[in-house]
Each structure stands twice: as structure tokens, then as C-alpha cells.
A = this chain, B = another copy of it.
Amino acid sequence: MACQLLNGKKGIIFGALDSKSIAWKIAERAYEQGAAFTLSNTPVALRFGEINLLSEKCHAEIIPADATSVSDLEHVFSRTMEIFGGKIDFVLHSIGMSMNVRKGREYDDLDYDYFLKTIDVSAVSFHKMLQVAKKMDAINEWGSILALTYIAAQRTLVGYNDMADAKSLLESIARSFGYIYGREKNVRINTISQSPTRTTAGGAIKGMEGLIDFTDRMSPLGNATADECADFSVVLFSDLSRKVTMQNIYHDGGFSSMAMSLKAMTQYNKSLDEDS
């Protein structure tokens, strides 16, 4: 079976850092499915990352950009359109960073310059990307734009800090711009809310291991992997999901619809036995 869901489709993938990145897996899968695309990340990330490997593997040009810079984004889109000789079909936003998390500032002791930076990098960058794309008329009719998010946008997790707020804002931007871009160009915008995933970026979140164990036992299908997220992302880029827009879809093995599973309860009860 030579199933190529993205045959002939062109795009841009923002945020692939190394082979643990979800964006990296999505790039690999999109390539397998017939897509062509450029890769973009910050100059710093490019310096430390292994993205040249991905670039070679997928025959994808790397275009450095600070995603908070409108002019950098304009360059990414114009260079991409130049490479492909026209409009593109999909964009992935997989960008998030919190200096408050990095510097260990607790949520009730935020540095506000950092907070605004978190918001600018992790959420407003998505709006900038969309506004630039629309102004340049860079996306074909029925194109698909996707951002990665996390359930912290709806439910608080200890340690996720100001990234939770940034993800809420990101999802709101997806809806707000999804309306405009949909009505005018039939472009759809969605977010995937993925299980906690061991990435280099995610490694900064405090107490990640216990959380991953818990969510795995809570989710009837277990945590979703980055590879599985890539499979589902391809679907959202494909023509099979043309009328899905302004949605946040949980790709999490069922976690979001659980309040307590047998496995997690059994494990938790062990801790109570120990106490007694």
C-alpha cells in the first residue's frame, strides 16, 4: 500500500529541535506521506539541535527565524513560497518556552518580563504566523494549520506554571483566527492536545516522571507517543479533515475523559497502605 495522504502538499514545520521533538516526528511522517516542506527554528536552537539530519532526510531547507519577529516570519513564508513556486498547504506550530520555568520562578512569584516573553514566544507567535501568512496570501484554500498544546490549558497541573496560561491563549488564538481564516479562505486551524511527552523541551517541567506514570495509568490506552501524535497530525493536514476547524482535539489515550481509572487508583492506594 502506497498510501500518501499528503501527496503534493507543501508546508512549513516550526519547532523541530532533535529526534525527540514531536515536530521532528511530524516532519518525518509528513515526508513519508508525500509532503514537501521547509523547517524553521531559532538560530540558537539550530546551533544546538541535530536538525541538519532531519533536513537531509526530508530534503527540507532550514530557514532560521525568531518566531516572535514578524519580519523573520515574513522571510520564512516568502522563502518557502519561493522554494515551492507558490502557496503552501500546511503549517505546524510547535513552539513553547518559559523563562519562569527555566529559572525556577514559581507561579506566585513570576517575573513579568518573563511572563510576557512566555506569552509572546508560546502563543502570540502563532498569531504572528497566521497574520503574516494571511497578509501574504501564502496558504491555499482548504489549507490546514496546526499547533500543539497541552491539557494544562483546561486543568491545572503543579509545575506547568505560566505555560498553562500560554497554552490557553494559544488555543484561543486558534479559534479566533480560525474564524477569520475560515470564512475568508477556507483555511482551517486546530490544536492537538497531546499526552505528556518526554521531549528535550518538556524535560524542564518539574516532576515529569511521576506525572507521566500517573497519566499513563489513567489513560485507558496509555500515553500517546510522539510517533502516534505524528500520525494524527498528518490526518489533520490531509483533505480528510476539511471541515474540522477551531477545535482542540485530545490525542491522549483517553486521559482527558478520565477522572479515575482502576490502574491509577490501585497504584495510589498503595501509597495509602504505606502511610497506615
A residues adjacent to B (C-beta < 8 A): 1-5, 7, 34, 70, 106-110, 112, 115-116, 119-120, 124, 127-128, 130-131, 134-135, 151-158, 161-162, 164-165, 167-169, 171-173, 175-183, 186, 188, 195, 207, 210-211, 213-214, 219-222, 224-225, 228-229, 231-232, 234-235, 238-247, 249-254, 256-263, 265, 267-272, 274-275
Contact = CB atoms under 8 A, between A and B. Distances in A.
A168 B1 CA distance: 39
A245 B253 contact: yes
Contacts of A116: 116, 119-120, 124
In order of increasing CB-CB distance, the 5 nearest A-B pairs are A182-B220, A168-B172, A224-B243, A246-B257, A271-B271
How many copies the complex holds: the figure is 4
Nearest to A174: B257
Contacts of A165: 127, 169, 172-173, 176
B254 A182 contact: yes
Contacts of A2: 1-3
Contacts of A260: 156-158, 211, 214
A175 B261 CA distance: 12
A66 to B, nearest CB: 13
Contact of A168 (B168, B243, B254, B263): B168
A181 B263 CA distance: 14
Nearest to A210: B269
Q: Which of A186, A249, A254 has the most CB of B within 10 A?
A: A254
Contact of A169 (B169, B219, B235, B244): B169
B183 A261 contact: yes
Nearest to A186: B221
A256 B169 CA distance: 18
25 contacts: A1-B2, A2-B2, A70-B112, A127-B165, A155-B256, A155-B257, A157-B258, A158-B260, A169-B169, A169-B172, A175-B257, A182-B253, A186-B221, A195-B243, A213-B272, A228-B243, A231-B240, A231-B242, A232-B244, A235-B238, A245-B253, A246-B258, A247-B249, A247-B250, A270-B271
Q: Which of A176, A182, A261, A270 has the most CB of B within 10 A?
A: A176
A112 B134 contact: no
B240 A244 contact: no
A260 B172 CA distance: 15
Contacts of A272: 210, 213, 267
